[in-house]
Amino acid sequence: MNPFEPSTVPSLAIEEKETFRPRPANDFATAGLNSAQIESLVLKFLLNFGNAAGRRIADELGLPFSPFPEFLRHLKNQQIVTYTDNASANDYYYSLTDTGRARARNYFDECAYVGTAPVPFESYVASVAAQTIDAEQPKMADLRRAFSDLLINEDMFQTLGAAINSGRGMFIYGYPGNGKTSIAERITRCFGTSIWIPRVISIEGHILKLYDPASHEAMRPRRGGLLRMDDQDDRWIEIKRPTLIAGGELTMENLEISYNPATKISEAPLQMKSNNGTFLIDDFGRQRMQPIELLNRWIIPLEKRYDFLTLANGKKIRVPFDQLILFSTNLEPKQLVDEAFLRRIPYKVNVTDPSESIFRQLFEIFGPKLGFKSIDQAAISYLVETHYLGVNRPFRACQPRDLMLQIRNHCIFNELEIEMTAEYFDIAVGNYFTVM
């Protein structure tokens, strides 16, 4: 099959899985927070910021303003904070007293985290269940939409559709350059557009950072003050369904909770960050660990849909394992793992070389995007007959784009019109296939 053939809990209000949205809490208790947690976050923020209005403090913690006046008044009565000025809407500016600064430093020694208040772990678990990919059942129209910028044949659609609906693991294998990674990156689009995740989670007294701007794409910027939305809990953030990609750099440490002993802050592992989305292990078999080690680590998660992670204090916790795991490799799956593991990854998709007709069609698709005003079929025929058929070189789906990029760069540098000619293809082939 060829992918390039053209185709004819607290503060959670869960109504329906596809309309999940975290609602704001009315007070700290319904937000799953106690007074000590709120005090720690408030004092550490004021120690860093110096002076802030109560509404600014509430926005920083991602919580409603209504319970803060009374809470801050209580801290003032204890001589931990003091008023420095009046603010709008019956609010005040606050700063720390000497006693408050000393207490804030003690809180910093316990944990250096400053920012949005954490969401209880139980609420996070409930949110994953409410947004599970198991509840998503993509149809053919969803696949065509997700893969609209790739050429996918009908047989491939049938295989991918069944595999995606399974919600289980999938091997995507074949020669390099034929679009395995491109296919994997688009699979997430079949599961709907967005999900909600907590920025930070509170678990067994530990702070666990989940939202990662390097891994997650926010749907909209966070708004505070008078522009703040009242129908959502700002401790959560709406992101595009995640697609995490780990290549040869992946190690076993990336799959465990990372703890910083200096800051006392933990960070979620990759598979937890990919919950409700897709996790692609690219170039599987080329990691620094043996393939069997990785699959041994995931025997239970792949079957049971949950994982066990270890906190800094040594306690194990059970976390959701709710994503489609994809293994992309240039090798045959049976060369990497035994039959027992292949059974746990039920779908194997072979991404084969494109045919000559599809190879030619790829020039027509990529040409206009790269600045070619016309597609010279005679020049393409020269390329195919001289540099492919004539030397028994296999077609790869990435090569039309790569060769045209070579021509484009040559023409721009020499201030020439960007066009396809036999001479330009000779130059591009000479550069591109020197050691291939």
- Which tens digit of pLDDT belongs to each residue from 273-295? 999 999 988 888 777 777 778 87
pLDDT of residue 151: 79
Residue 114's CB: how many other CB atoms inside 10 A?
19
pTM (predicted TM-score)? 0.82
Q: What span, in angstroms and rounded, lies between the C-alpha atoms of 379 and 377?
A: 5
What is each CA distance from 187 to 168, 191, 331, in whole angstroms? 13, 8, 21
Q: What is the mean pLDDT of residues 409-426?
A: 94
Q: What is the mean pLDDT of residues 339-367?
A: 85
Q: What is the mean pLDDT of residues 88-101?
A: 92
Greatest Cα pair distance, the chain, in angstroms, is 88
- pLDDT-derived band at 53, boundaries 50, 70, 90: very high
Q: What span, in angstroms and rounded, lies between the C-alpha atoms of 289 and 250?
A: 8
Higher confidence at residue 434 or residue 244?
Answer: 244
Helix, strand, coil share of the chain (percent; to 5):
40, 20, 40
CA atoms within 13 A on the CB side of 394: 12
Q: What percent of the chain has pLDDT over 90?
A: 56
| All structural domains of the chain | 35-115 (1.10.10.10), 122-350 (3.40.50.300), 356-432 (1.10.8)
DSSP per residue over 117-177, as a string? PPEEHHHHHHHHHHT-GGG----HHHHHHHTTTS---HHHHHHHHHHHHHTS-EEEE-STT
Q: Which of 69-78, 277-286, 372-381 has the lowest mean pLDDT?
A: 277-286
Which pair of structure tokens corresponds to residue 220?
């909209």
- pLDDT-derived band at 221, boundaries 50, 70, 90: low
pLDDT of residue 175: 83
Q: What is the mean pLDDT of residues 75-96?
A: 92
**φ, ψ (nearest 5 deg) of residue 48:** -80, -45
- For residue 211, pLDDT over 50 is answered with yes
